[in-house]
Amino acid sequence: MNTRLAVATHILTFLQTQAGQPATSELIASSVNTNPSLIRRLLSQLARAGLTVSQMGSGGGALLARPADRITLLDVYNAIDDKGEVFALHDQPNPQCPVGRYVNAVLKARIVEAEKALHDQLAQTSIADMAEDVVEQVRLGARTG
Amino acid sequence: MNTRLAVATHILTFLQTQAGQPATSELIASSVNTNPSLIRRLLSQLARAGLTVSQMGSGGGALLARPADRITLLDVYNAIDDKGEVFALHDQPNPQCPVGRYVNAVLKARIVEAEKALHDQLAQTSIADMAEDVVEQVRLGARTG
DNA sequence: GGTATATGTGCCTATTATGGTTGCATAAGC
DNA sequence: GCTTATGCAACCATAATAGGCACATATACC
């Protein structure tokens, strides 16, 4: 896939570390090291999915819409990815050939299973977990420099 | 992802239904409904991964390199996908920010778990399963027209 | 040996996805 | 009304993907 899941997760994890303080797209962008506009584009997707809320105007910014332990990577994945499909089928197999006629339907069933396994695993991690892991890394990093 | 896994799986399933008869790229292409050249390119990847063998010259073509029940969708996936990664991290988070500094490493660990779940599920299906399912569909389809 | 067949691969093109960027209308606080 | 900040459209550059052509190479068969 692309890096959008990673950036979106970064955003949410960042918001969690802000302890309820609204974060501007510019502030988030400085952590992600990219353009504020790109952050806003992702934030609007996250807001549409109900994961964040944004406040316009001075003193505004983005906040998590609910506790971080109730936002999973699967939620993020679903918010970001339009179709939620890792694999695609090919367009026009030859229906005159038995394999061409049925292989897509057969494969589809297997792919759905595989993607379900992926989703289930993504659902095991919350943004709270992510933030805790980051804090732990900071603690470890502080000792070794 | 792309449709290459689907096409490669189509190719292998097709070969399995050929019962040991070498299939030319042109024959396979007519089933997939695409260009023989594209089929050959995928076949050369599959051959490099040891899943198929190809014979040049008259009467030649492609064959499965081993029994279809010992070729899984994970094998196909690994043969086709260069890096085998569904998700990417973003390039340069800001190391001055704790989140920017560690979020990628933390996320990476979770992503590896999720991809492992995907892989494990893909490994549950063999090309023999695929071919059997197609045959079953043909049988069902024959009744309803 | 010569011909027909078929693979292997490099190169080209069109389309789409992605990431990055700018600009501006809109909303909110002071 | 000024400042801050989002929301969103438009645009560009790059890369991935699918598709296709050409040709060198290898093999079988006569």
Average pLDDT over residues B119-133: 97
Q: What is the pLDDT, as a whole number, of residue B92?
A: 86
Average pLDDT over residues A115-140: 96
Tens of pLDDT, residues A35-81: 999 999 999 999 999 999 999 999 999 999 999 999 999 999 999 97
Tens of pLDDT, residues A78-107: 999 767 678 989 878 999 999 999 999 999
Q: What is the pLDDT, as a whole number, of residue A86?
A: 87
Q: What is the pLDDT, as a whole number, of residue A136?
A: 96
Examine the pLDDT at A15 and tell me if it is beyond 70: yes
Pull the structure tokens for residue A134. 């980051």
Q: How far is A115 from B1, CA to CA, in rounded Å?
A: 12
**Which CA distances in Å does B19 have to B49, B68, B132?**
21, 11, 13
Tens of pLDDT, residues B60-83: 999 999 999 999 999 999 999 767
The pLDDT-based confidence of B143 (bands split at 50, 70, 90) is confident
Average pLDDT over residues B25-29: 96
Q: What is the pLDDT, as a whole number, of residue A49?
A: 95
Q: What residue in A sits closest to B93 (Cα-Cα)? A: A32
The spacing between the Cα labelled CA in B34 and the C1' in D18, in angstroms, equals 10
Residue appearing with tokens 């009467």: B59
Q: How far is A55 from B7, CA to CA, in rounded Å?
A: 47
Q: What is the pLDDT, as a whole number, of residue A145?
A: 63
The pLDDT-based confidence of A2 (bands split at 50, 70, 90) is confident
Mean pLDDT of chain B: 93
DSSP 8-state code for residue A95: T
B26 touches chain A (CB under 8 A): no
CB-based contact B61:B47 (threshold 8 Å):
no
CB-based contact B115:B86 (threshold 8 Å):
yes
Q: What is the pLDDT, as a whole number, of residue B105?
A: 95
In the three-class reduction of DSSP (H, G, I as helix; E, B as strand; rest coil), residue B105 is classed as: helix
Q: How far is A104 from A88, CA to CA, in rounded Å?
A: 10
The pLDDT-based confidence of B145 (bands split at 50, 70, 90) is low
Residue A61: φ, ψ to 5°: 145, -165
Share of chain B above pLDDT 90, in %: 86
End-to-end Cα, chain A, rounded Å: 34
| Centroid of chain to Cα A134 | 17
Residues 8-47 of A with CB under 7 A from strand D: 23-26, 36-37, 40-41, 43-44, 47
Q: What is the pLDDT, as a whole number, of residue B89?
A: 92
Strand C bases contacted by the protein (CB, 7 Å): 4-10, 17-23, 26-30
**A55 to chain B, closest Cα gap in Å:** 22
Examine the pLDDT at A116 and tell me if it is beyond 90: yes
Q: How far is A90 from A98, CA to CA, in rounded Å?
A: 16
Q: How far is B129 from B16, CA to CA, in rounded Å?
A: 10
Q: How far is B24 from B39, CA to CA, in rounded Å?
A: 9
Pick from B127, B37, B100: which is nearest to A31 by CA?
Answer: B100
Number of neighbouring beta carbons within 10 Å of residue A28 = 28
Helix axis angle, B127-144 relative to A98-122, nearest 10°?
A: 120
Q: How far is B69 from B54, CA to CA, in rounded Å?
A: 19
Pull the structure tokens for residue B46. 């599959």
Q: What is the pLDDT, as a whole number, of residue A1?
A: 60
CB-based contact B108:B98 (threshold 8 Å):
no
Examine the pLDDT at B58 and tell me if it is beyond 80: yes
Pick from B112, B121, B122: which is nearest to B74 by CA?
Answer: B122
B113: Cβ contacts below 8 Å, ≥ 6 apart? A121, A124
Q: What is the pLDDT, as a whole number, of residue B127?
A: 98
Average pLDDT over residues B113-135: 97
